[in-house]
Amino acid sequence: MELMRARAPAKINLTLRIEGRRADGFHDLASLVAFAGAGDLVFLHPDAPLALEVSGPTAAAAGPDDDNLVLRAARAFAERVPGARLGRFVLEKRLPVAAGLGGGSSDAAAALRLLAGLNGLTLDDPRLFAAARATGSDVPVCLDPRARLMRGVGDRLSAPLALPPLSAVLVNCRVAVPTAGVFRALGLQPGAMLPGPEHPDDLPEAKAGNAAALRALIARLPNDLEPPALALAPEIGRAMALLAETPEARLVRMSGSGATVFALTDNCRAAAALARRVLAQEPGWWVKPTVLR
């Protein structure tokens, strides 16, 4: 077969409520998730020995290839699909690492989509979802990268949501913020709940096709990981403040556990102008105008 290819788009947490910490140590969350135009690329050479090559502008920060989530996902797939055809993966890494963009999870999900296609599995095959869950909490929502409400430990997903396209700028100040450290800094003990607004299951604003109404909904629901991430990496606050001062930004928020922040704008032209404004002040930062869907 010819070389196979899949996009691995950045996952953006438009909202992120940490509802509490379970007795097993994991955290229950509720998050409205969308996906960006920016992302990595994953290629598969079918039927070659299982292996991974990482290239691209952010490859050096991706860590050891043997520990990459792409290979973990492939092994989880092989455990659940006896006799599965595998291959050699090539990951073109474009997204910042440890950046709150779910890059590794999206890479793993793209690898699973490629293996599903190679082996004649549909995306709703329960073995594919099981392999995704075994690989990481954010991998299931990335299997079919469309906007959804994600709950629990990433294991409960809504049907896809037809969000109005949200023009945005993603900004990463080149600081890596490991997720585990942010959750430790959050400091919830097993069995403890985190006070805050209840995240609704029904999101009429997300279905109405009105971007302004959706921005208002997002503004009412915080990212609970912002305070601990800011304590660990104050540079995130500087990036948020820079965005908030621009005339184009309508809402500024951190994604995931950081350090990437995003600004929602009225349209793509405003997003492009905002991106140019940020790069003029901080040419060393990673800045991407995009559309979230």
Per the annotation, the verdict on 138 as an active-site residue is: yes
Could you give the CA distance from residue 123 to residue 116 in angstroms, rounded to a whole number?
A: 7
The catalytically annotated residue of 40, 93, 107, 138 is: 138
The reply to whether omega before 275 is within 30° of 0 (cis) is no
Distance of CA 249 to the CA centre of its chain: 21
Strands (DSSP E) found in 14-62: 17-21, 27-46, 51-55
CB atoms within 10 A of CB 43: 19
- What single DSSP character describes residue 222? -
Distance, in Å, from the CA atom of 43 to the CA atom of 114, rounded to the nearest integer, reads: 8
Q: Look up residue 115 and give its two tokens.
A: 């293996």
Q: Which of 11, 93, 224, 288 is catalytic?
A: 11
CA pair distance 140, 145, nearest whole angstrom: 9
DSSP structure string for 236-286: HHHHHHHHHTSTT-SEEEE-TTSS-EEEE-SSHHHHHHHHHHHHHH-TTSE
d(CA 235, CA 105): 24
| Neighbouring residues of 161: CB distance < 8 A, sequence distance ≥ 6 | 32, 146, 147, 148, 149, 203, 206, 207
Q: Respond yes or no: is residue 224 known to be catalytic.
A: no
Catalytic residue positions? 11, 138
